[in-house]
Amino acid sequence: MNHSNDFLHLIVFLVSAVICVPLCKKIGLGPILGYLIAGVIIGPHGIKLISNVQETMHLSEFGVVLFMFIIGLELNPKKLWSLRMPIFGMGTAQVAINTLVFTGISYAVGLSIPASILVGMAFSLSSTAMGLQLLNERNAMSTVTGTANFSILLFQDIAVIAMLSVLPLLSDGKSADSSDIKLLNILKTVVIIVAVLIAGRLLLRPLLRFIAGIHLREIFTAFSLLLVMSMAYLMQSLDISMALGAFLAGVLLADSEYRHALETDIEPFKGLLLGLFFISVGMSVNLSVILEQPLLILSCVFGAFVVKISVHFAIGHFFNLPKSQLTFFSLVIAQVGEFAFVLLGAAATLNIFDATTNEILITIVALTLLATPLLVFLYDKLIAPMIEKRDEIEPDIIEEQENPVIIAGFGRFGQIIGRLLYANKIPTTVLDHEPDQIELLRRFGFKIYYGDATRLDLLEAAGIQKAKILVVAIDSAEENLKLVKLAKEHFPHLKIYARARNVQHVYDLIDQDIEGIERETFEASLKMGIDVMRGLGWSGYESVKRGQIFRRHNLEVIKDMHSKRKNEKEFLAKARQAREDLERMFEEENQLRTQPGSGWDS
């Protein structure tokens, strides 16, 4: 074993990831494409820094295994049972239809019936790792679309068991006896899985409790990894997807008190190995095969995407997924999955088709994986904005208003202001642009209108000409400032009170010379700081007094820093001086401070 080579390979993986991933993230292409490009560059068909793709892929598959274990931890058995319809309904439809379509196309272009069936099965699969990662990056796992994608991917992992059982039947010279043997193996597998699930349910928690009782973090981490690896190895020995085994282990522990500890310990390993998996996929892209037959390869890749997106779109429509999300749902699982490499490799061993065909198919699979993040990126930039614009709700028709107060933005900040004004019978007109939020609040009796408050015509319809005060409580700092500038320009009679997201936003609002500016977290944080001092034994009087000193000093510093923010040297000098001034003020207070326990609480 050459240890220096192992270290060199590790350095190459890390360097390529550190360079490519941040660059792709920076230009908006996402981290997955960064890993894939890194693999293409360093692999045997690139600059040849790493040559053994299979070894790398076998190691990196453990990243997918850990990923599925963490996904399993999020799904307790009750929640998993509630997904049985999308798993076996949508999942069955997706695998069956894609298999039939790709089998028919393969047979039509001249492949034998066994080879066509194998291509159909392989191309019906999608990438669990890539699909779930794309959903996670967009926080879409809990959406209707995310649940549908996850259900299909989970069913595919189950379907792989049947596909591997069918493989020997597709090769030449297999007797009917082999089908009986395979049926027996399937029954044996089912019995073993059930036994493992029952044993795991009964034994895992006491075992985890014992390990946790030792109070050695590294031993708990080691046991977490051992648990996942053991389950994955058992499933692999039964010719079942290791990812499915890890997922089942996660589900077993989903409602245990150790779920969060397990997730925290495994997360770093998952991230690194999953990145390595995507690098290994990039390494499998054979550039020479593409250059030899570019038209054939690219046509097949394009055709595979067209078929799968069309099938997924139809399935999503049939199962009543939201129309606005059908395109994204179809794209996330449009690639051919990593398990196709396993099926195609096994097919080559069984001589189902020749080496050249096998090489072409593997290249097509790798290119679909490489192209998916790029397609999703194009969807985010081009198609998603069009869908949002198409589905945009028309602004409400606002009857003539003469209320003295208009509140723009009725989220967590604006609601408190609105409720106070409503409770004191102060007539208020509220504008917001979140339809779900508006419908909810209307049920509670609030008079709220839908629309973009930065539109001049909407403000006029809301009665801004006759209003006395405009409260700008919009969450986005950019939109917030845009409305303030608009109101200052067109309605100079208005008193404007604005919510500020941060100190920079405060500076921008000070430039507009408005009546009131309130940082959204400042007062709440200051109040908690006062409560902490009281919890430490300070008197109520002394705690509040110190809080007020800090508040007054902070507001004065912000005004002073605002005037110096254009000059970096003066700005930094003032910041240092402000800290020293605050320390000196509190030092003076300490000399005058009453004894602990005196004041309001004595």
Query: What's the start-to-end Cα distance of the chain, in Å?
Result: 75
What is the model's pLDDT at position 439? 64
> Do 382 and 486 belong together in one domain?
no
User: Do 257 and 125 share a structural domain?
Assistant: yes
- Asked whether residue 115 carries a pLDDT value surpassing 80, the answer given is yes
pLDDT interval class at 250 (50, 70, 90): confident
Q: Are strands 469-472 and 405-408 parallel, antiparallel or unpaired?
A: parallel
Domain count of the chain? 3
Beta bridge mates, 408: 431, 472
338 in Cβ contact with 127 (< 8 Å): yes
User: Is residue 408 situated within a structural domain?
Assistant: yes
Domain end residue (candidates: 390, 409, 429): 390
In a domain, 13, yes or no: no
Residue 45 lies in a domain: no
| Same domain membership, residue 407 and residue 384 | no
**For 421, phi and psi rounded to 5 degrees?**
-70, -45
- 175 and 105 in a single domain? The answer is yes
Are residues 405 and 386 part of one domain?
no
Amino acid letter, residue 415? Q
Predicted confidence at residue 572, as pLDDT, reads: 67
Alpha carbons 373 and 363: distance in angstroms, whole number? 17
Contact 486, 408 (CB under 8 A): no
In this structure, the answer to whether residues 285 and 206 fall within a common structural domain is yes
- What is the structure's pLDDT at 125? 92
Rounded CA separation 146/153 (Å): 11
Task: Determine contact, residues 130/351, Cβ cutoff 8 Å.
Answer: no
- Determine, yes or no, domain membership for 22: no
Q: What is the mean predicted confidence (pLDDT) over 261-280?
A: 78
When pLDDT is cut at 50, 70 and 90, the band that residue 175 belongs to is very low
User: Quick check: 596 pLDDT over 60?
Assistant: no
At residue 189 the predicted structure's pLDDT band, cuts being 50, 70 and 90, is low
Q: Comparing C-alpha atoms, which of 272, 373, 379 is closest to residue 32?
A: 373
| 16 in any annotated domain | no
Mean pLDDT, residues 378-385 taken together? 85
Regarding whether 191 and 169 lie in a shared domain, the answer is yes
Q: What is the mean pLDDT of the chain?
A: 80
CA–CA dist 30, 505 (Å, integer)? 29
Q: Verify that 371 and 411 share a domain, yes or no.
A: no
Indicate the pLDDT class of residue 595, thresholds 50, 70 and 90.
Answer: very low
List the helix and strand counts (H, then E) for the chain: 27, 6
**In terms of domains, do 283 and 330 share one?**
yes
CA separation (Å) from 432 to 71, 367, 448, 501? Answer: 36, 45, 7, 18
**H or E element at residue 500:** strand 495-500
Distance CA(545)–CA(593), nearest Å, equals 10
**Does residue 463 surpass a pLDDT of 80?**
yes
Q: Across 16-30, 204-218, 309-323, which has the greatest mean pLDDT?
A: 309-323
pLDDT score of 315: 94
Give pLDDT, residue 180: 53
pLDDT at 602: 46
What CATH number should be reported for the domain holding residue 208? 1.20.1530.20
Please check the confidence at residue 532 and state whether its pLDDT lies above 90. Answer: yes
Per-residue CA distances from 553 to 25, 517, 549, 550, 584 (Å) = 41, 16, 6, 5, 12
Q: Which of 221-235, 313-327, 412-426 has the lowest mean pLDDT?
A: 221-235
Q: Which of 64-68, 183-187, 484-488 has the highest mean pLDDT?
A: 484-488
User: Sign of torsion, CA 524 530 533 535?
Assistant: negative
| 412 — pLDDT class (breaks 50, 70, 90) | confident
Q: Which of 491, 489, 493, 509 is nearest to 501 (CA)?
A: 509
List the one residue out of 333, 331, 341, 332 whose CA is nearest residue 364: 341
Q: In angstroms, how far apart are the furthest CA atoms of the chain?
A: 98
- Pick from 98, 125, 120, 122: which is nearest to 109 by CA? 120
pLDDT category of residue 447 using cuts at 50, 70 and 90: low
The residue behind tokens 């010719």 is 239
Same domain, 241 and 159: yes
Taking the C-alpha atoms of residue 72 and residue 250, their distance in angstroms, rounded to an integer, is 4
CATH code, domain carrying 516? 3.40.50.720
Contact 375, 312 (CB under 8 A): no
Q: How confident is the model at residue 458 (pLDDT cuts 50, 70, 90)?
A: confident
Buried b (16+ CB within 10 A) or exposed e, 111-142: beebbbbbbbbbbbbbbbbbbbbbbeebebee
Instruction: Note down the domain range covering 459.
Output: 401-520
By the 8 A CB rule, do 353 and 280 touch? no
Q: Which residues contact 65 (CB under 8 A, 6 or more apart)?
A: 228, 229, 232, 242, 243, 245, 246
- Distance (Å, rounded) from C-alpha 453 to C-alpha 456? 8
Question: Do 247 and 193 form a contact (C-beta atoms < 8 A)?
Answer: no
Distance in angstroms (rounded) separating the CA atoms of residues 222 and 205: 16
Question: DSSP assignment of 439-463, as one string?
Answer: HHHHHTT--EEES-TT-HHHHHHTT
Q: Note whether 435 and 549 are same-domain residues.
A: no
pLDDT class for 597, splitting at 50, 70, 90?
Answer: very low
Task: Flag whether 333 is in a domain.
Answer: yes
pLDDT at 440: 62
pLDDT value, residue 455: 83
Query: Which of the listed residues 390, 413, 437 is the one where a domain comes to its end?
Result: 390
| Residue 266, pLDDT score | 78
Q: What is the pLDDT of residues 73-104, one digit of tens each?
A: 766 677 777 788 888 899 999 999 999 999 99
Is there a domain that residue 75 lies in? Answer: yes
**Does residue 236 fall inside a structural domain?**
yes
pLDDT band per the 50, 70, 90 thresholds, residue 71? confident
Residue 470 in this model has a pLDDT that exceeds 90: yes
Model pLDDT, residue 204:
76
pLDDT at 281 (0 to 100): 78
Angle between helices 503-511 and 540-564 (to 10 degrees): 60
pLDDT at 268 over 70: yes
Share of the chain above pLDDT 90, in %: 17
Q: Measured between alpha carbons, how far is 273 from 593 in angstroms, rounded to an integer?
A: 57
**Higher model confidence: residue 59 or residue 32?**
32
Q: How confident is the model at residue 174 (pLDDT cuts 50, 70, 90)?
A: very low
Alpha carbon distances (Å) from 467 to 238, 406, 493: 74, 7, 9
Last residue of a domain, one of 333, 363, 390: 390
The answer on pLDDT for 177 being more than 60 is: no
Residues 186 and 323 in one domain: yes
Rg for the chain, CA atoms, rounded: 31
DSSP-derived letter for residue 101 is H
Dihedral of the alpha carbons of 388, 390, 392, 397, in degrees to the nearest 10: 170
